[in-house]
Amino acid sequence: MRTGQKPGERYVRIVRPHAREFRRSPEGHIVATERVLEPRGPVGRLWTRVKRLVIGPPLSTAQSIHERIPKVKALAVFASDALSSSAYATEEILLALVLAGSAALTYTIPVTVAIVVLLAIVATAYRQTINKYPAGGGSYIVTRDNLGDVPALIAASSLLIGYVLTVAVSISAGVAAITSAVPSLHGFQTHLAVFFIVFMTFANLRGVRESANIFTVPTYLFVASMLLMFAVAAVKLLVFGDLPQAEATALSVVEPLSLFLLLRAFSSGCAALTGTEAISDGVPAFQEPQAKYAATTLLWMAVITGVLFSGISLLAFAYGVVPGHGETVVSQIARLTFGTGPLYYFVQAATMGILVLAANTAFADFPRLSFFLARDGFLPRQFSFRGDRLAYSTGIVALGLLSTTLVIVFSADTHALIPLYAAGVFISFTCSQASMWTRWRRRHEPGWQRGIIINGVGAVTTGLVAIVVAATKFTQGAWMILAIIPLVVLVLYFIHHHYQRVAEQLVLDPKRVQLPRPAGKPIVIVPVPGLHLGVLPALDFARAISESVTAVHVTDDLEGAHRLRQQWEEWDQDVPLVIIESPFRSLIHPLLAYIEARQQDEPNRMVMVVLPEFVPKNWWEWVLHNQSALRLKATLFFHPNTVVANVPYHLKR
């Protein structure tokens, strides 16, 4: 720092006090006010207006509020994913069993029981995580903390893929609820699904600050509608002694009932467990005492999910519902219970509502996980930037694009997507549980004996289920997930490696590295397309920064070159003109070779290329200009020791 100056003084000189866009901070730096965001020019104004309309006015970082939400709302926010999966889990079990004919549907009940037991184990295990990671214990964080980078990346990839699938599956299932109720919408499933995803992407770019309230209503409506459905069915059974039966369908036996088929039905039903992790990830959002409340909420979530899922499975069995015919199982049950009246439509609407909300949780989780990954250098930095509305825009847009692709590729068919779904989820469960087990074993914190058993059982169970799911669903799509996870891990690892390598190369020790004495003036080369007013600012600027300026004209038109030389000599300024004939019509290559020749001539001086560029009055006129300049810049960018500057000539009309 120059002597005799206080930190603040210099800025008075640098920024005029009446620059309304800035104010001074007490620490000596300057603070940009909201005024700097004011758009410039008509296009900027239009863009800003559209942006404000779609995603709202910008929020300052200080406005980011760490909302604390009470238990009742928290259940709604975090449980929508888990609860909603009961809307399709039973159907997936039936779809697997039905291959062995109607008689096999009897096994719905034992399979459901097995899954509910699994749910109890996983929920119990995750309560441990909540206690130990009150600041948020997603699989990635817990695994990185205990098992290191590679397992953490496996967990992270499984989760990232899982979130994309959550959106695709939930939205597809939600659309199926609609098309079940309104059959005339059949054939538009993909369109509807894409529409919902696009809508949600924008909603999340706005930032869903009021999320807790938005979530509460549909979640409890869904729970209420399901419980009502169970009650009505129970009353019917008690009063009439039996239940109406679904239309009997002649079922052909496609494959014999086998242990493998039962395991596949079990794997399909495991979709019910997705979303169980959400609460352990979101502990900081709870009111104090956070860990306790979060653990209670998790318990409630598991109980309600278990009840809804078993209830639907029981009713499906009792009604003799067979999946298919373009109508969901829940829709069939609701129709048999309520008839096709207002209550039926209410159930369908509530189902649709909670499924869309479930997708929305992925829109919170995916960007947050990408932020963690970007912060740790595993994803490009853009994922850690927050947009105007404090949302992690890059992650939101990435999730929107990926899930849209998935929905289009799989034509919004829930049943086609499910086999991809559970494998990733259980891999991340396993990583998380194994990490907790390792933690207990290493640290011997109070209660470690109990913890080691709970999380040990959790790890072994979820690991086994992961294997069962992968094996029984392998040919139906799980192989894709098993192929993609290592690929994503590799990409994340590579990005990390790259950032690290760059950081190592860049370390600057302020004590030892000095700026060199100011270097000599650069050699300046000004490529000129001709002699017209557009090149004057470039030549002018070039002469301002160096006395060694050469104008270069590359051409294959010798007559034109001759004319230019005459004009140039007539003009008679002190800038020499070099004409390079290019018999192969290339503009870039001869110029590059010329720059290199000059550089070899004077290896210690920098070469600077000053490009005259047209700035048209209207941005869309831009395609009519500067195409060569753009290519030249792209090429020179990879050229060592060359600096490229653009001197704009602003067209007035």
27-28-33 Cα angle (round to 5): 90
CA nearest neighbour of 162 among 328, 44, 8, 277: 277
Query: Comparing C-alpha atoms, which of 458, 431, 436 is closest to residue 132?
Result: 436
Q: Which helix or strand (DSSP H or E) is residue 646 part of?
A: strand 642-650
The residue among 266 and 594 lying less far from a second copy, judged by its C-beta, is 594
21 is a site residue for a second copy (CB under 8 A): yes
**Interface of this chain with a second copy, residues 477 to 496, rule: CB under 8 A:** 495
- Using CB under 8 A, which of 65, 238, 559, 653 touches a second copy? 653
Nearest approach in angstroms of CB 379 to a second copy is: 9
Q: Toward a second copy, which CB reaches closer, 49 or 650?
A: 650
Distance CA 41, CA 331 (A): 54
Residue 75 to residues 309, 399, 520, 578, Cα–Cα distance (Å) = 17, 24, 68, 75
Given candidates 507, 559, 603, 604, which one binds a second copy under the rule CB under 8 A? Answer: 507
How far apart are CB 572 and a second copy at their closest, in Å? Answer: 6
Residue count of the chain: 653
What residues numbered 48-77 form the site for a second copy, per CB under 8 A? 58-62
Q: Is 268 helix (H, G, I), strand (E, B) or coil?
A: helix
User: Which of residues 255, 502, 560, 563 is near a second copy by CB under 8 A?
Assistant: 502
Tell me if 41 contacts a second copy by CB under 8 A.
Answer: yes
Tokens encoding 256: 């014999």
Q: Per rule CB under 8 A, is residue 604 in the interface with a second copy?
A: no
489/398 Cα distance (integer angstroms): 17
Q: Phi and psi (nearest 5°) for 202?
A: -65, -40
Q: Which is nearer to a second copy, 443 or 585 (CB)?
A: 585
Q: How far is the CB of 371 from a second copy (least distance, A)?
A: 14
Cβ neighbours for 495, distance < 8 A, ≥ 6 positions apart: 377, 378, 379, 380
**Shorter beta-carbon distance to a second copy: residue 239 or 624:** 624
Name the token pair of 235: 């009353």
Pick from 500, 480, 481, 503: which is nearest to 492 by CA?
A: 500
Stretch that binds a second copy, among 92-100, 201-209, 331-339, 504-512 (CB under 8 A): 504-512
Q: 168 near 362, Cβ under 8 Å?
A: no
Using CB under 8 A as the binding rule, the residues of this chain from 234 to 263 that contact a second copy are none
Q: What does the buried/exposed string (b/e) look like for 214-245 if buried means 16 or more CB atoms within 10 Å of the residue's CB?
A: bbbebbbbbbebbebbbeebeebeeeeeebee
Q: Which of 14, 53, 259, 483 binds a second copy (CB under 8 A)?
A: 14
Q: Is 340 in the site for a second copy (CB under 8 A)?
A: no
4 is an interface residue for a second copy by CB under 8 A: no
One residue of 384, 534, 607, 632 binding a second copy per CB under 8 A: 534
**DSSP per-residue letters across 411-463:** TT-HHHHHHHHHHHHHHHHHHHHHHHHHHHHHH--TTHHHHHHHHHHHHHHHH
Our finding on whether 37 is near a second copy (CB under 8 A) is: yes
Q: List the interface residues with a second copy, window 157-176 (CB under 8 A).
A: none
Residue 401 sits in the site that holds a second copy (CB under 8 A): no
Contact with a second copy (CB under 8 A): which of 45, 186, 444, 501?
A: 501
Residue 325 or 381 with smaller CB distance to a second copy: 381
Q: What minimum distance in Å lies between the beta carbon of 397 and a second copy?
A: 14
Q: Which stretch binds a second copy (CB under 8 A): 100-108, 230-238, 302-310, 513-521?
A: 513-521
Per CB under 8 A, contacts with a second copy among 574-593 are 574-576, 578-586, 589-590, 592-593
Out of 12, 35, 45, 340, point to the residue binding a second copy (CB under 8 A): 35
* 168 burial type by CB count under 10 A (0-12 exposed, 13-18 middle, 19+ buried): buried
What is the β-pairing status of strands 642-650 and 549-555?
A: unpaired
Pair of tokens at residue 113:
């029981």
Among 271, 554, 607, 632, which residue interacts with a second copy (rule: CB under 8 A)? 554
Q: Which residue has the tokens 């807790």?
A: 212
Closest CB to a second copy among residues 124, 382: 382
Beta bridge partners of residue 523, listed in sequence order? 607
d(CA 61, CA 481): 37
Q: How far is the CB of 329 from a second copy (least distance, A)?
A: 35
Candidate ranges 152-160, 229-237, 471-479, 555-563; the one touching a second copy (CB under 8 A): 555-563
Least distance in Å: CB of 43 to a second copy?
Answer: 9
Among residue numbers 367 through 386, which ones bind a second copy (CB under 8 A)?
380-382, 385-386
Instruction: State yes or no: residue 638 binds a second copy (CB under 8 A).
Output: yes
Separation between Cα atoms, residue 276 and residue 300, nearest integer Å:
11
Choice between 45 and 186, CB closer to a second copy: 45
CB of 525 to a second copy, least distance (A): 10
SS3 555: strand
Nearer Cβ to a second copy (48/290): 48
Confirm or reject binding of residue 206 to a second copy (CB under 8 A): no
> Quick one: which segment of 222-230, 266-274, 418-426, 517-525 binds a second copy (CB under 8 A)?
517-525
Smallest gap from residue 200 Cβ to a second copy (A)? 23
61-90 in b/e form (b: 16+ CB < 10 A) is eeeeeeeebeeebbbbbbbbbbbbbbbbbb
Residues in 607-626 that interact with a second copy by CB under 8 A: 608, 613-616, 619, 621, 623-625
Q: Which stretch binds a second copy (CB under 8 A): 104-112, 165-173, 483-491, 557-565?
A: 557-565
Q: Is the separation of the CB atoms in 522 and 550 below 8 Å?
A: no
**Largest Cα span, the chain:** 110
By CB under 8 A, residue 601 contacts a second copy: yes
Q: Which residue, 254 or 545, is less far from a second copy as judged by CB? A: 545
| Site membership for a second copy, residue 560 (CB under 8 A) | no
> Which CB sits closer to a second copy, 342 or 583?
583
Q: Give the nearest distance from C-beta 399 to a second copy in angstroms.
A: 18
Phi, psi angles (nearest 5°) of residue 23: -130, 165
Quick one: which of 522, 527, 607, 632 contacts a second copy (CB under 8 A)? 522
CA angle, residues 87, 75, 293, in degrees to nearest 5:
145
Smallest gap, in angstroms, from Cβ of residue 35 to a second copy? Answer: 7
Please identify which residue in 53, 248, 250, 533 interacts with a second copy, judged by CB under 8 A.
Answer: 533
CA atoms of 448 and 205, how far apart (whole Å): 42
307 vs 149: CA distance, rounded Å: 38
**Contact region for a second copy (CB under 8 A) — 242-250, 307-315, 354-362, 637-645?**
637-645
Are 407 and 193 contacting, i.e. CB atoms less than 8 angstroms apart? Answer: yes
Q: Taking a C-beta distance cutoff of 8 angstroms, is the pair 47, 133 a contact?
A: no
